[in-house]
Structure 1
Amino acid sequence: MGGDPQSSTSRCVDDDAVILVVDDLRSSRLLIGSVLNAAGFTNLLFASDGIEAVERLESEPVDMILLDIVMPRMDGFEVCRQARGRLGLNIPILIQSGLQDADQRASAFDAGASDIVSKPIHAHELVSRVRLHLERRRMIDSLQTYQRRMEDELRAAESMQVSLLKSDADVAAIAQPRGAALTTFYQASNQLGGDLWQVFEIDASRFGLFMVDLSGHGVAAAINAFRVHMLAEARRRDRGDPGKWLAALNDDLCQMLSIGHFATAFYGVVDVAGGRLDYAAAGAPPPILLEAGGEWRPLDGSGLILGCREGVTYDTHSARLAVGDHVLLYSDALYENFDVPEESLEPHDMAALAREVLTSATGADFHQALINRVFADEMAQRRDDLTLMLLEVTGDV
């Protein structure tokens, strides 16, 4: 019966459980063994003192320990401490004791005991407590197995979601030949999120920037993000016309999203050679245009949110772009204060912070520096999915 004793926690299923009985009195070991055998427990191990018990635990898988307190060489308290500490066992440990003093009983639990069985042994009580703790251990093991499986599946889904986003090299291959630099940041609030950004090639001089924030968090929002990605990648027609493209995407989402689910979005077409940004929005946070000369202005983020009603039209707006200009796109997690809404940042606050950060950080470093300025701690930062995109007009075509 060899193997890793720590692996025993996955096998404690009622009568098949391996139970280690530790008592320095042979008569007590025989009595406990006969009671357990009569109740159907046949996988019994025995140890005559604490040192022998620890040696057993080091070499054999065990699902439960029935442990006497007063023994030579090593008492039950020390066996408990070693089982929980050095050996790292998370199995039921039932101490058999006649202790009546509350402090002594508390010491048993402090050492790692799961329960105390009165001594002299009462057969019905012993069997009932053994079954109770084995069943509870079985349920905990089942929950832990389920949790591990869910964590594995969430990690796989997270990897799939991240794989939807283009790499820095892919983004640069689109933006740089068209006279721009583009850096991005994405962070889900809890492994899976509903934010999504994409960059599209349109023609030799233009490319598209798309940012969407789907309602909700977790699995449901992530599934919808996959849907939007699929739709946006497939809908190549009208990519050069932001209003028409966003209207078509809205119609698709109205057919796909369930009631109560929606999305805010911004889609812009960057044309550095033509010196302009054409864009349409659906209830998005207003992107901020930071002009090279020091002025700034918010872009119009208004428009009906996606997924609410078919047949909606979205206006295409235009903004002038010049070399040295920056455009900051961001999800609402960057400026909303969920605890104190009246303290949420306004566009002029965002513009001032972005301008200040740009004096000392550019490119990919800009995003983290801006986040550090906005959020006091990481918990506040992870209250919602967070996406940032920073476009810089370089003019290097």
Structure 2
Amino acid sequence: MVDVKEEFTRMFGYTHAEAVGKHINDLLASASYQEESGRLSRSVIHGERVELDSRRRRKDGSLIDVSTLGAPVEHDGKQLGIYAIYRDITERKKAEEARIRSQEEARMARNIQINLLPKTGPGIPGYDLAGRNIPALNVGGDYFDFIRLDERRVAIGVGDVSGKGLAASLVMANLQATIRSLALFDADPKDCLERANRLLFRSTDARTFVSLFYGILDAERGTLRYANAGQGMPILFQANEKPGHLKLRGIALGVKEDARYEEEDIPIAVGDKILIYTDGISEAMNASMQEFGEGRLQTVVSESRTSTSLGRIEEILADVNAYIHDASRNDDMTVVLLKRLRSSR
């Protein structure tokens, strides 16, 4: 080296006198980087321009992440020497490593969440029950669950935690554990919501709330007994009638500690369908800021020629994605569809 700049001495810890006259690779390349640095030097000596992110050694022996630029110095077509520029990229590397860790943690969280949600329907004879969840981010706060209570009954839960991402997914996992625990005690829907509400209210801050539909399908009786804590009103499709709604809807969980809920027992006739969904479906917006809307949702289900509940759900999701097209999806989407196929008697 014939000269070094002040920034070089600051970065590597050598004084000007200590650096000048030394071979750059002997000074900066540790044993594990000697081959790489030698290869780069030879390339530059032969007239090539090289750029590389690597590591170089400071005077104290520590390694520093650097971006290296090496190029020949030419005059009148003759190469007179070479120059090298080193930039400290330590902070950039730290940011990249943090991003990679974050992505890996998000991937692991998503896998955990996927494993928490039902992979298939509960297989109740005479009924076709299916659900799908698609988070806006890697993980989300939407929830659905099928909890087998006994041979003839299954509990159905569909919920939406305020917010998105990892924080919402943690609340969702806690909610699922709470509901499953309460289901083991065979709690009625209204009792289940009231107990879950108290637990949520006491364990979260004022910004956290959950809308939740919880119902118990009795396949033998052909009924659905349900209660609703702020979740969008499920749509009931019956033969030869316009789509209607299940009527009950109370306050979301976590808003008021002593909230009370009502429950209703409704009959499900052969051919009836009940659609339960979160607002990420109906409120999905296109580039013109127009919502998909419940009307389109009803049309997709009513006009579908697909025979299975899962098939209809896939049609709904495909229609929503086609509607929003290039617009960003800002909310989780969850859909559960129940259809009665035949009488149990």
Range class of TM-score, shorter chain: 0.7 to 0.9
| Residue 35 (str. 1) matches residue 31 (str. 2) | no
Please name the residue that 2:110 is paired with. Answer: 158
Of 373, 376, 384 in structure 1, the residue corresponding to residue 319 of structure 2 is 373
Give the whole-Å Cα distance in 2 for the aligned partners of 1:64 and 1:185.
54
Q: Quote the offset at 1:252 in angstroms.
A: 1.0
Q: Which residue identity does 1:42 align to in structure 2?
A: L
Please name the residue that 1:183 is paired with. Answer: 130
| Residue 394 (str. 1) matches residue 322 (str. 2) | no
Of 48, 65, 89 in structure 2, the residue corresponding to residue 76 of structure 1 is 48
Give the whole-Å Cα distance in 2 for the aligned partners of 1:238 and 1:160.
26
Unmatched tracts of structure 2, length 5 or more: 1-10, 54-65
**Structure 1 residues 210 and 62, CA gap change in structure 2 (3 angstroms):** farther
1:84-123 matches, cutoff 5 A: 91-95=67-71, 97=73
Please name the residue that 1:333 is paired with. Answer: 280
Q: Quote the offset at 1:220 in angstroms.
A: 0.8
Give the whole-Å Cα distance in 2 for the aligned partners of 1:387 and 1:224.
16
> TM-score under structure 1 normalisation?
0.68
| Structure with more of its chain in helix, by fraction | 1
Please name the residue that 1:311 is paired with. Answer: 258
Q: Deviations over 1:151-204 (max 9, x none)?
A: 222111111111111221xx33xx423x31111111111111001111122333
Q: Secondary structure at the match of 2:124?
A: helix
Judge conservation of contact 1:361–1:369 (CA < 8 Å) in 2: no
Judge conservation of contact 2:237–2:274 (CA < 8 Å) in 1: yes
Q: Which residue identity does 1:76 align to in structure 2?
A: E
| Residue 364 (str. 1) matches residue 307 (str. 2) | no
1:200-219 matches, cutoff 5 A: 200-219=147-166
Q: Quote the offset at 1:287 in angstroms.
A: 1.0
Judge conservation of contact 2:128–2:308 (CA < 8 Å) in 1: no
**Structure 1 residues 340 and 39, CA gap change in structure 2 (3 angstroms):** closer
Please name the residue that 2:8 is paired with. Answer: none
Give the whole-Å Cα distance in 2 for the aligned partners of 1:282 and 1:97.
74
**Structure 1 residues 382 and 324, CA gap change in structure 2 (3 angstroms):** same
Judge conservation of contact 2:145–2:157 (CA < 8 Å) in 1: yes
Q: Which runs of 4+ in 1 moved over 3 A?
A: 36-41, 59-69, 94-99, 119-122, 237-240, 292-295, 337-343, 345-349, 377-382
| Residue 248 (str. 1) matches residue 195 (str. 2) | yes
Please name the residue that 1:228 is paired with. Answer: 175
What is the percentage of aligned positions where both structures have the same residue?
22
Q: Quote the offset at 1:37 in angstroms.
A: 4.3
Unmatched tracts of structure 1, length 5 or more: 1-13, 17-30, 46-56, 85-89, 100-118
RMSD: 3.7
Q: Quote the offset at 1:396 in angstroms.
A: 5.9
Please name the residue that 1:8 is paired with. Answer: none
Q: Secondary structure at the match of 1:364?
A: helix
Q: Quote the offset at 1:142 in angstroms.
A: 1.9
Q: Quote the offset at 1:240 in angstroms.
A: 5.2
Give the whole-Å Cα distance in 2 for the aligned partners of 1:149 and 1:223.
18
Judge conservation of contact 1:15–1:40 (CA < 8 Å) in 2: no
Q: Which residue identity does 1:223 align to in structure 2?
A: L
| Structure with more of its chain in strand, by fraction | 2
Q: Deviations over 1:232-278 (max 9, x none)?
A: 12113664521121111111110112221111110111123323222
Please name the residue that 1:116 is paired with. Answer: none
Please name the residue that 1:48 is paired with. Answer: none
Q: Deviations over 1:73-122 (max 9, x none)?
A: xx324x56xx79xxxxx9432435479xxxxxxxxxxxxxxxxxxx9889
**Structure 1 residues 368 and 336, CA gap change in structure 2 (3 angstroms):** same
**Structure 1 residues 235 and 200, CA gap change in structure 2 (3 angstroms):** same
Please name the residue that 2:98 is paired with. Answer: 146
> TM-score under structure 2 normalisation?
0.77
Q: Quote the offset at 1:312 in angstroms.
A: 0.8
